[in-house]
A and B are shown apart, each in its own frame.
Chain A
Amino acid sequence: EDKVVQSPLSLVVHEGDTVTLNCSYEVTNFRSLLWYKQEKKAPTFLFMLTSSGIEKKSGRLSSILDKKELFSILNITATQTGDSAVYLCARSGGSYIPTFGRGTSLIVHP
Chain B
Amino acid sequence: EPEVTQTPSHQVTQMGQEVILRCVPISNHLYFYWYRQILGQKVEFLVSFYNNEISEKSEIFDDQFSVERPDGSNFTLKIRSTKLEDSAMYFCASSVLREKNIQYFGAGTRLSVL
- Interface residues in chain A, defined as those with a beta carbon under 8 Å from any beta carbon in chain B: 31-32, 34, 36, 41-45, 48, 88, 90, 92, 95-103
Contact = CB atoms under 8 A, between A and B. Distances in A.
B43 interface: yes
B105 A92 contact: no
Given A88-B43, A100-B42, A102-B42, A42 B98 contact: no
Given A97-B48, A97-B56, A45 B43 contact: no
Interface of B: 4, 33, 41-45, 48, 56, 89, 91, 98-99, 101-108
Nearest to B98: A96
B102 A44 contact: no
Given A36-B105, A48-B102, A96-B101, 19 more contacts: A31-B101, A41-B108, A42-B4, A42-B91, A42-B105, A42-B107, A42-B108, A43-B105, A48-B101, A88-B43, A96-B99, A97-B45, A98-B103, A99-B45, A100-B42, A100-B44, A101-B42, A102-B42, A103-B42
Q: Which of A44, A45, A99 has the most CB of B within 10 A?
A: A45
Closest 3 CB pairs of A and B: A42-B105, A100-B43, A41-B107
B112 to A, nearest CB: 15
Contacts of A101: 42
28 contacts: A32-B101, A34-B101, A34-B102, A41-B89, A41-B107, A41-B108, A42-B4, A42-B91, A42-B105, A42-B107, A43-B43, A43-B105, A44-B105, A45-B102, A90-B43, A92-B101, A96-B99, A96-B101, A97-B33, A97-B45, A97-B56, A98-B45, A98-B101, A98-B103, A100-B42, A100-B43, A100-B44, A102-B42
B45 A42 contact: no
B48 to A, nearest CB: 6
